[in-house]
Every structure is written in C-alpha cells, then in structure tokens.
C-alpha cells in the first residue's frame, strides 16, 4: 500500500493535468475575443505546466 504522502503527490499530478486539459481545450475557446482573459489562461497554462514538472520531479524522487 502507498503511504499518504506519495498518494497526495500523485493525486495532485492528476488534478493538475485535468485542469491543464480543461484550460487548453475549453477555457481558451470560451474566452473567444477577450484578449485579457486569453492572456490570463495562457499564464495559467504556464503555471500548470511548471507545477506538473515540479510534481514529476518530486514523484520520481519518492518512487526511486
């Protein structure tokens, strides 16, 4: 059985990926012609991608 700490990291990775998918595939399209909102979502994409990279490093370190 996996300890709670590792599970939390893996679960957060899943949540970040799901959120990133929604932003890329839904929220940007829904923003339509609103430049300000599209810029916000683009920033969120960068943030989520960075969080995913950090989580990946942590997960790898804990599973080795």
pLDDT digits (tens, 9 = 90+) for 21-57: 999 999 999 999 999 999 999 999 999 999 999 999 9
The pLDDT of residue 64: 81
Boundaries of domain holding 22: 4-63
3-state secondary structure of 2: coil
The angle formed by the CA atoms of residues 46, 48 and 53, to the nearest 5 degrees, is 95
pLDDT at 4 exceeding the cut of 90 = yes
Tally of structural domains, the chain: 1
pTM above 0.85, yes or no: yes
CA distance 28 to 44: 11
7-22 burial, b if ≥16 CB within 10 A, otherwise e?
Answer: eebeeebeebeebbee
């Amino acid at each position: 059985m996996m300890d709670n700490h590792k599970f939390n990291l893996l679960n957060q990775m899943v949540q970040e990926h799901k959120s990133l998918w929604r932003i890329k595939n839904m929220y940007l399209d829904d923003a339509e012609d609103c430049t300000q909102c599209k810029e916000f979502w683009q920033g969120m994409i960068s943030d989520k991608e960075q969080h995913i990279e950090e989580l990946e490093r942590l997960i790898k370190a804990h599973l080795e």
